[in-house]
Amino acid sequence: MRTGHCLCGAISYRFRAAPGPVILCHCEHCQRHSGAAFSVNVLVPRDSLDITGTPRTYRTVGTENGNQRDRLFCGDCGTPIFTILHERPELVIVKAGTLDDPSGLEPAAEVWWRRAQDWINPDPDRPRFDGDAKTEE
């Protein structure tokens, strides 16, 4: 079981399933939402997630692919906590920085690499996708 919470503690969560892949996302929305060069995302089965508190939701639509995202955050401290992909409703993305113990998580891939900041050096051993990994073969 993994647990986590926002900065102020108003929203907390736990999930019972083993964490899925960790994906670094360089898309423009993730950069803005995280306030960083990329977002560190842990894919988790949605039915294994229990949330305490009520996060606020902001919906975005991808400028390149048109996919809707619900970005859940704490309404008190503003911490981004989850993202829900409308095309994959069985999953929830947990923002790795909100985990109580993020140890043992290693990024498996990077998506939207074409939007990466030019000062980010690629890891030659990590797969990179110019867009979403699922849309590339």
Average model confidence (pLDDT) across the chain: 92
Q: Which domains does the chain have, with CATH numbers?
A: 2-98 (2.170.150.70)
Cβ pair 4, 13 in contact under 8 A: yes
User: Which token pair is 39?
Assistant: 């977002």
Residue for token pair 């400028």: 63
Q: What is the pTM of this model?
A: 0.89
- Under DSSP, is residue 46 helix (H, G, I), strand (E, B) or coil? helix
pLDDT in tens, 76-108: 999 999 999 999 999 999 999 999 999 999 999
| % pLDDT > 90, the chain | 82
